[in-house]
Amino acid sequence: MPVNKLVVRDGKVQFIHDDELATALKGHGDMNIRRASHVEPVEGGKWECDLSPVGGPKIGTFETREAALECERSWLINNNWR
């Protein structure tokens, strides 16, 4: 399971979605889920991570979807996403 980083801004908690963590936080206020990126297949059966929804770059290509998702998580954590 990936490590999630909780960020608190203006009284709001942000984290990279994880079913266990989302379940644990359920009932502690309204939850608004939004996409931070688009991990999509590209030509040749590879994958690309497009972080433009949070002002980031397009990164890729990756051999597997899981590799692209890991890149997404890493970029979000290391760039203090908003």
Please check whether residue 37 lies inside any domain of the structure: yes
Task: Evaluate whether residue 2 is within a structural domain.
Answer: no
CB atoms within 10 A of CB 73: 18
**pLDDT over 60 at 2, yes or no:** no
What CA–CA distance (Å, rounded) separates 35 from 63? 22
Classified as helix, coil or strand, 11 is coil
Q: Which residues contact 73 (CB under 8 A, 6 or more apart)?
A: 2, 16
pLDDT tens digits, 56-71: 999 989 999 999 999 9
| Paired sense of beta strands 38-42 and 12-14, if any | unpaired
User: Residue 35 domain-assigned?
Assistant: yes
Q: Is residue 1 part of a domain?
A: no
Provide the domain limits for residue 18.
7-78
Average pLDDT over residues 13-17: 76
Q: Enter the pTM of the model.
A: 0.71
Number of domains in the chain: 1
